[in-house]
Structure 1
């Protein structure tokens, strides 16, 4: 008997790819900035992901140099996407 449901974004790679996809769909403001809430809200509320999945996805995207996260945590910039 299976007691838990598989989480599509439990894998940081999958979460990072989805976050980059969301970020690409948003018009950037000054200097290519994309405010974090613009990618946070669709990921958490529309896709029903969790906060830890969001954090792991952002961290993975930064490690892979797909996104640049500002030290304040208020915005990201697209660097390159997943290949």
Structure 2
């Protein structure tokens, strides 16, 4: 019998907090914009998250009001609530 190890970002709360940590560490370009690839690439490659974990974390961060995502999907902005997480 084989057992599967628990995934680090299977909980959307943990994934959302990791995405916030990554987004907070990225230097915004203009008007506080953070290009979406600056947070999805590290999450997927460096931290070993899956696309479904990324999507669940991003959705939760937006629902909680930590991030605001542009309609085009090309960038996000940290909201004040999101910035307050790291104050």
TM-score by length of 2: 0.89
Does residue 42 of structure 1 match 2:42? yes
Aligned residue runs from structure 1 range 1-83, under 5 A? 1-79=1-79, 80-81=81-82, 82=85
Partner of 2:31: helix, strand, or coil?
A: helix
Q: Which runs of 4+ in 1 moved over 6 A?
A: none
5+ residue gaps, structure 1, are none
CA distance in 1 between partners of 2:38 and 2:6 (Å): 26
Which shifted more, 73-82 or 23-32? 73-82
5+ residue gaps, structure 2, are none
TM-score by length of 1: 0.93
CA distance in 1 between partners of 2:9 and 2:46 (Å): 13
CA drift at 1:53: 0.3
Q: RMSD of the TM alignment (CA)?
A: 1.4
